[in-house]
Structures are given as structure tokens and as C-alpha cells.
């Protein structure tokens, strides 16, 4: 048991999927895991451990934003022996060729700041995905219905951004989408020599203003969970 994760020693699997939303963790555990057991409910940040095709998996909510994710990932890595951590979440599309419902597999995650900025100081560290997970996810995604993009994303500290000039530079530099967690996940994984990846569903489009209707979210979310699980155990 750690400050924010109530699981007892050994109740967390070496492979952890991390949606931002704790209710998505519950939904994914109910729909994809056998014998899922609730292992955390501190602050309502639900976590479940169960089996997927004979492999032990934990699905633990991260909350929104890098400071929240950082708390859970630090405890998962340092105290609960997590080895493979895959974010499954949503993002806003930043390129015209990326559409609502598409999947983005994040090769890199740029930031202005992250909780690790205080450690890295003047270094513009380049947070990047684990290559083995990334390539396995790309193979898995090829067999699904969703269109998939692989490339750089932007991890922002704000959902309600007020810097159109910044978005413009991201678009100009080919950033596929914006979310709020992956850069810190990749940085912590690098620091502790763990494997990390972010698989994202496009839920809204910054250029067109479109948003995914809530009834459509579940199906696309399902593809993302399968890609993450198949990549983890490839």
C-alpha cells in the first residue's frame, strides 16, 4: 500500500494500462479482463487487476494532467514493481489529415513543462516511447478498423489553452495531437528503465471544432484497449 494506491504488495501486475478516467478503468476491466478485482479506490482513482489471455494486467486510472499521472506512475514503478505502463486516453487532433475516432500512437511527447522539468532543468529532454511496444502497437493497430497515425504529440498543462500561436507552432512542426499526460509517463519510464507507450483516440479536433459523440466513444476506446494489451504481450 502506498499513499495513493491502496493495493497490497503483489496486487499490482507488472503490466499496467492507464486511462485518465477511473470509470474508464472500470469499464475496460469489466470488458477485457477475466476475474478483475478492485485493487484501489483511494480518492476514487479506481484500479483493477485481472487476467487477459492468461496474462496478469492492472488497469489503473491516472487522473487528468501530468502532476496527477506522475503520482500514480511513481508509486506503480517504485513501490509496486510495474514494468510496462501504457496510457490509453483521448486527445485533440492538430493536423487536417487526422480525424475524429482515429488512433494516434505517440512516438514522442513534446512539452513546455512537466513535473520533471525541475529535475531536468536546462535540458530539453525528448520523451519517447519504448520501441518494442511502439512497433508491436503499430502491428496490432493494422488489424483493427481504426485509422492509425504514428508520430509526435504535445502534452499540455492546460485543456483550455489560450495560446493560439503555440498551437500554430505545434501544427507547423507536425504534431499530430494534444493531450495532457504522455510526456511525464515517458520521462518517468526513461528514468526508471521501464517500458512506456501512449495509445490515444482522437476525441476532438482543434482545427474543425468537431467532437466525438459520447455514444461513439466506447467502440473506439475498445480498439485502443486491445492495441495496448496486444502490444504489451507481443
Residues making contact with ligand HPA (CB under 6 A): 90-92, 156, 159, 178-180, 203-204
Calculate helix-pair angle for 22-32, 214-232, nearest 10 degrees. 60
Q: Which residue of this chain has its Cβ atom nearest to ligand HPA in the complex?
A: 92
According to DSSP, the residues that pair with 40 across neighbouring strands are 47
Instruction: Output 13 or 100, the one with its CB closest to ligand HPA.
Output: 100
Least separation in angstroms between CB 25 and ligand HPA: 17
Least separation in angstroms between CB 219 and ligand HPA: 17
Instruction: Output 81 or 207, the one with its CB closest to ligand HPA.
Output: 207
Least separation in angstroms between CB 41 and ligand HPA: 24
Answer yes or no: 204 catalytic: yes
Instruction: Output 75 or 179, the one with its CB closest to ligand HPA.
Output: 179
Reported as type and span, the H/E element at residue 108 is: strand 103-110
Least separation in angstroms between CB 133 and ligand HPA: 21
Instruction: Output 79 or 204, the one with its CB closest to ligand HPA.
Output: 204
User: What is the C-alpha to C-alpha distance for residues 2 and 8, in angstroms, rounded to an integer?
Assistant: 9
Reported as type and span, the H/E element at residue 80 is: none
Block residue for cell numbers 511525464: 184
> Residues near 149 by Cβ (< 8 Å), separated by ≥ 6?
97, 98, 102, 103, 104, 105, 176
Give me the catalytic one of 165, 204, 216, 223: 204
Largest CA distance in the chain: 49
Catalytic residue list: 204
Amino acid at each position: 500500500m502506498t499513499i495513493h494506491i491502496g493495493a497490497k504488495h503483489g496486487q499490482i501486475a507488472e503490466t499496467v494500462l492507464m486511462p485518465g478516467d477511473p470509470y474508464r478503468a472500470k469499464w475496460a476491466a469489466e470488458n477485457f479482463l477475466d476475474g478483475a478485482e478492485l485493487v484501489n479506490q483511494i480518492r476514487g482513482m479506481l484500479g483493477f487487476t485481472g487476467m487477459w489471455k492468461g496474462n496478469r494486467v492492472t488497469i489503473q486510472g491516472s487522473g487528468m494532467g501530468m502532476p496527477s499521472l506522475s503520482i500514480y506512475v511513481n508509486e506503480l514503478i517504485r513501490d509496486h514493481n510495474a514494468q510496462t505502463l501504457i496510457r490509453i486516453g483521448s486527445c485533440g487532433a492538430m493536423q487536417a489529415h487526422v480525424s475524429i475516432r482515429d488512433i494516434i500512437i505517440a512516438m514522442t511527447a513534446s512539452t513546455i513543462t512537466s513535473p520533471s522539468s525541475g529535475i531536468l532543468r536546462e535540458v530539453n529532454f525528448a520523451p519517447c516511447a519504448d520501441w518494442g511496444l511502439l512497433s508491436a502497437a503499430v502491428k496490432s493497430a493494422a488489424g483493427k478498423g481504426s485509422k492509425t497515425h504514428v508520430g509526435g504529440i504535445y502534452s499540455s498543462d492546460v485543456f483550455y489553452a489560450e495560446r493560439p500561436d503555440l498551437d500554430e507552432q505545434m501544427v507547423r512542426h507536425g504534431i499530430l495531437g494534444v493531450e495532457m499526460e504522455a510526456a511525464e509517463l515517458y520521462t518517468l519510464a526513461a528514468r526508471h528503465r521501464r517500458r512506456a507507450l501512449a495509445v490515444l483516440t482522437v476525441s476532438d479536433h482543434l482545427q474543425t471544432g468537431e467532437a466525438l459523440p459520447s455514444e461513439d466513444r466506447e467502440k473506439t476506446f475498445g480498439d485502443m484497449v486491445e492495441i495496448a494489451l496486444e502490444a504489451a504481450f507481443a
